[in-house]
Every structure is written in C-alpha cells, then in structure tokens.
Amino acid sequence: MVEQTDERKKAIVSLLGLAGELGDLNATFKKLVLLRDSRTFRADLREHIGDILWYLTSLAVLHKIPLQEIARESARKAERLYSKGEVNRFDDGFEPEERLPRQFSVTFSEKRGEKQLLVRIMVSGVIVGDTLTDNAHKDDGYRFHDVFHLAYAAVLGWSPVTRAMLRRKRKSNPRIDEVEDGGRASVVEEAISVLVFNEAAQRGWYSDESSVDIGLLKTIIRLTAGLEVSRCTAKQWKAAILQGYAAFRALREHRGGRVDVDLDQQALTYVAPTAAGGKA
C-alpha cells in the first residue's frame, strides 16, 4: 500500500516527512502537558503514529528492507538487552573435572612486596593464578581484579579466565577448548574487565544501578559476539558488573577477604577477614 501511495519515492522526502511528523508528535504531547487538554489527544496521537509508520515504511521499501525482518530483529534485540535471562550451564555434558564448580570460595590475600602491593588468591588452600599487582603508576586496586572474572562466572556462567585458573578447560572437545576456553576468548574477557574498570572512577565505582548504562552494555555485547556468552542478556552483564564491583570495593577496603561464588544462585558474596589472624 505504501509503495502505491508514495508518489515521490525519494528517501530525502520520506526522511523530511518523518522529521516533520515527529515534530507534530512532540507538539501534541507538549499541548497535553502545558494545557492539560486531552480532548483530542488520543485521536491526534493515533494520526501522528500512523503518519510516522507510513514514512518509516516508505524508507524501508525504498531500501528494500522487509518490515517483518526489521520487527523480528528488533524483538530479538529487545530480548537480548532487557530480558532477565536464565541460569547458564555452558559445560553441561562434560565430565565433572571440566565443569566450573557450581559453588566455591576464593580467598584474596594482600601483602606488600619490595616495591608494591601484591594480591594472591587461593581456592581450598591452594594458590591459583598469578600473584597480581596493579600494573599501574598509582594504586588503583586493580590487583583485586580477578573478582570481576569470578562475578562473570557466577552471574553469566562464563569465564575463560576462571576456567584457566581452576584448570577446568573443556579439553575433551578440541573445538570448544580452542574457541570458548582459549586465548582469544580470555583476551576478550580481560578486555571487558579493563574497559569497565577504566570507566569505574567516573561512574562512582558502580555503586548504584544507574552507573551501568545501556551504551556500556551494548559495547560488551558487541565484544562477545560469536562466543557462547552471547546468550547472556544485558541485564545479566549489568548484574555481573554490579556484584563484581560491590565485592571489589569491599576487598580493597578490607585489604582482602573471601568471595563465595554460587553459579546456581547467580550470586557473588563477600565475607570480610576475621579480626584474629586476618583471614576470612
């Protein structure tokens, strides 16, 4: 119908018409707010929405983009960004020694080296991973950043870095081992950790939900395209960031402590060191 009624068939005309209709829509709402006149509001709104849809359809037809395809993609995008998501079990079907533990605890211990502060982590009394420093000119606490990887594991069910630390790589499937648990996936995870951290100070160290905006989440989703974690939603990434930084702030304040990881509850819980002995 639009194709038959579009006499000009020029994108610039449709674009200018769309801009004009959006202005009219704005004026209709302005009238409602300022004059509190709602007598014709629904009728006016219906008309403006219809005109906007006509111009949008015109642009789609001119560029040969099926509207049904747009609607499906938009629905998938909304699902990806705004749905709650589910508890992920990316390693179901693998042997127990190749699965991430569903619940485990990690102890963070800080000590002073010859020139800087160091952090090591332990699981069941065994040191895992490397002893970390901030790798920075000033003390910014990044030595505790393994807690971010633990948050990804807890909330998303995904963390190639945590798998490597716990020696839970899925080596029985060479393709999964290479693509999902290999170096490139780990680099992506570390890049996300650095990206989020580099904005942390100006975002109040993510102490409230509004500090994690949709722009940051969309960037993360683009970085993880093609990996199994792409099944996770923006809301899950947001929860992982908020929980990870809540634990990070506590670890830094108390100079260590214990972090309990629960993949079934999608939860990361911080436990402060005890007064006696300094261990959690």
How confident is the model over 217-228, as pLDDT tens digits?
Answer: 999 999 999 999
Q: Residue 147 pLDDT more than 60?
A: yes
Q: Are the C-beta atoms of residues 163 and 129 closer than 8 Å to each other?
A: no
Q: Residue 10 pLDDT more than 80?
A: no
Residue in this structure with the two tokens 């995008």, named with its chain if needed: 77
Give the pLDDT confidence score for residue 278 in this predicted structure: 47
pTM of the model: 0.77
Q: How many residues does the chain have?
A: 280
Q: Are the C-beta atoms of residues 18 and 2 closer than 8 Å to each other?
A: no
How confident is the model over 22-77, as pLDDT tens digits?
Answer: 998 888 888 888 877 677 888 888 998 888 988 888 888 888 888 788 878 777 76
The arithmetic mean of pLDDT across residues 230-250, rounded, is: 96
Q: Are the C-beta atoms of residues 233 and 217 closer than 8 Å to each other?
A: no
Burial 77-101 (b: 16+ CB within 10 A, else e): eeebeeeebeebebbeebeeebbbb
Question: Rounded CA gap, 274 and 280, in Å?
Answer: 5
Q: Rounded mean pLDDT of the chain?
A: 89
Question: What is residue 19's three-state secondary structure?
Answer: helix
